[in-house]
């Protein structure tokens, strides 16, 4: 099994990388369709030749790393099973303690360490790429701090989830997926509630918006949109990135309206207000709750399919992996592999829904603000600032983009502006 895995990996992975490279660098057309040329959506009207070249190159390299990372994750999980590392992790945990509350978290920690180390080079290359194109400004110590926070946070959450999951698998052989789903619902809601006030501050420093005049304008906009907010938060992101962002997230009393300082520094007040109107559109149209509902529905089907496939995997390859049955913690990489595969298969559907939600938020923002000039200017500045590809290749758009392309978004705003100008 080991030789077969190594042989096919050495044969297929480089071939896959070659085909992806050819697709992104030679077979894809990043040009502007004739119908968009000369319009506000044409990057040639608001970007220099140098910026256009940088945008194309950066996008190609960034997309290449993304597509390389997808099968790499699958290969890591398979390799850990094939080479018996999963069994070693399990034996080590059992040597420390017989209690599930101890041995399963130890297994999760060991598995996480190995996967983190294997994926680290790709993460580091991605960081260097962002630095070289002046997207990232983050120092290596700061970047490593964020990496380690994410690592330990993931280990903590995953240890809790996996311990509960394997207790259910052991006790309820045929219904564990259903009980796991039922317990997952309040956990997802809890994470959504605490993220703005507990998780996000672990990575960045939040403070009240210093520009009180702008805060009053944003709160007036929130009041007009019936959003219960009494302050706006500013987060210091300029020490990490040159990109811009703003968002409204959280539920209940933990609702937060947040602006990155990079957004404040690079956009006019009118442009900031349009961006905030867009984010408020997500709240008003209940996209946060639709996302929650989508996660719950997706988890139901995902857990059921995983239950079915895990049994097939163990029956066919379990002996070679040293895995006894589904309740064996050594089978965890197989379960994570299934979840990853299901997530990849579902991603085009999720992204299509997300693009629809983003379009709806754009439409709401233009109705709330009715300032197409500021709207177009904000999107153009976002494009230049992040070196966004305004017309990505087909695979990139449908496997990466949760927003309509910038070309589509600016074109929609320009049509609205023309319609408004033509109205009597």
Closest residue by Cα to residue 257 from 271, 268, 273, 241: 273
Measured CA to CA in angstroms, residue 217 lies from 303, 305, 363 at distances of 45, 49, 20
Alpha-carbon distance of 239 to 192, in angstroms, equals 26
Question: 79: which 2 tokens?
Answer: 């390799």
Strand pairing of 206-208 and 256-260? unpaired
What's the rounded Cα separation, in Å, for the pair 406 and 384?
11
Residue 237 near residue 225, CB atoms below 8 Å: no
Instruction: Tell me the residue ranges of DSSP E strands in 154-230.
Output: 206-208
The answer to whether 333 and 86 are in contact (CB under 8 A) is yes
Residue 343: strand, helix, or coil:
helix
| Catalytic hit among 215, 271, 279, 326 | 279
User: Quick check: is 94 catalytic?
Assistant: no
Which distant-in-sequence residues (6+ apart) come within 8 Å of 378 by Cβ?
267, 271, 272, 274, 275
Q: From CA 94, how far away is CA 100, in angstroms rounded?
A: 9
Are 227 and 261 spatial neighbours (Cβ–Cβ below 8 Å)? no
CB 378 within 8 A of CB 245: no
* Whether the Cβ atoms of residue 246 and residue 259 lie closer than 8 Å to each other: yes
Which of 206, 161, 163 minimizes the C-alpha distance to 185? 161
Taking the CA atoms of residue 416, residue 418, residue 421 and residue 424 in that order, the dihedral angle to the nearest 10 degrees is -80
- Close Cβ partners of 46 (under 8 Å, ≥ 6 residues apart): 40, 380, 383, 384
Distances (CA, A) of 259 to 149, 248, 330: 22, 9, 44
Q: Could you identify the residue written with the tokens 């992040």? A: 386
Q: Which residues are catalytic?
A: 279
């Amino acid at each position: 099994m080991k030789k077969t895995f190594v042989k096919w990996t050495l044969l297929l992975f480089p071939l896959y990388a070659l085909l992806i490279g050819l697709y992104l660098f030679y077979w894809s057309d990043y040009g502007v369709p004739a119908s968009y040329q000369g319009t506000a959506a044409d990057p040639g009207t608001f970007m220099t030749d140098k910026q256009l070249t940088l945008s194309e190159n950066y996008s190609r390299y960034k997309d290449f790393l993304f597509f390389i990372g997808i099968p790499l994750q699958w290969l890591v999980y398979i390799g850990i099973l094939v080479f018996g590392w999963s069994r070693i992790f399990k034996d080590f945990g059992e040597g420390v303690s017989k209690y599930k509350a101890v041995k399963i978290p130890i297994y999760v920690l060991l598995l996480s360490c190995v996967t983190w180390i294997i994926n680290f080079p790709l993460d580091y290359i991605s960081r260097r790429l962002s630095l070289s194109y002046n997207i990232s400004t983050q120092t290596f110590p700061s970047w490593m701090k964020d990496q380690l926070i994410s690592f330990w946070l993931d280990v903590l959450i995953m240890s809790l989830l996996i311990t509960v999951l394997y207790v259910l698998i052991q006790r309820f052989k045929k219904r564990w997926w259903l009980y796991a789903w039922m317990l997952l619902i309040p956990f997802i809601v809890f994470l959504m509630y605490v993220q703005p006030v507990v998780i996000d501050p672990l990575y960045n420093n939040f403070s009240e918006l210093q520009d009180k005049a702008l805060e009053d304008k944003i709160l007036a906009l929130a009041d007009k949109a019936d959003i219960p907010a009494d302050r706006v938060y500013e987060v210091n992101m300029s020490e990490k990135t040159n990109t811009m962002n703003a968002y409204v997230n959280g539920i209940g009393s933990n609702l937060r309206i947040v602006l990155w300082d990079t957004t404040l520094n690079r956009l006019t007040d009118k442009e900031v207000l349009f961006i905030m109107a867009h984010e408020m559109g997500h709240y008003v149209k209940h996209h946060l709750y639709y996302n929650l509902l989508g996660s719950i529905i997706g988890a139901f089907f995902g857990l059921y399919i995983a239950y079915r496939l895990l049994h097939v995997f163990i029956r066919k390859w379990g002996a070679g992996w040293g895995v006894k049955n589904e309740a064996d913690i050594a089978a965890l990489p197989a379960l994570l592999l299934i979840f990853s595969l299901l997530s990849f298969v579902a991603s085009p559907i999720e992204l299509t829904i997300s693009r629809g939600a983003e379009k709806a938020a754009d439409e709401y923002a233009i109705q709330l603000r009715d300032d197409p000039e500021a709207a177009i200017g904000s999107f153009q500045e976002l494009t230049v600032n992040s070196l966004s590809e305004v017309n990505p290749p087909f695979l990139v758009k449908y496997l990466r983009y949760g927003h309509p392309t910038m070309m589509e978004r600016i074109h929609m705003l320009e049509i609205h502006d023309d319609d408004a100008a033509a109205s009597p």
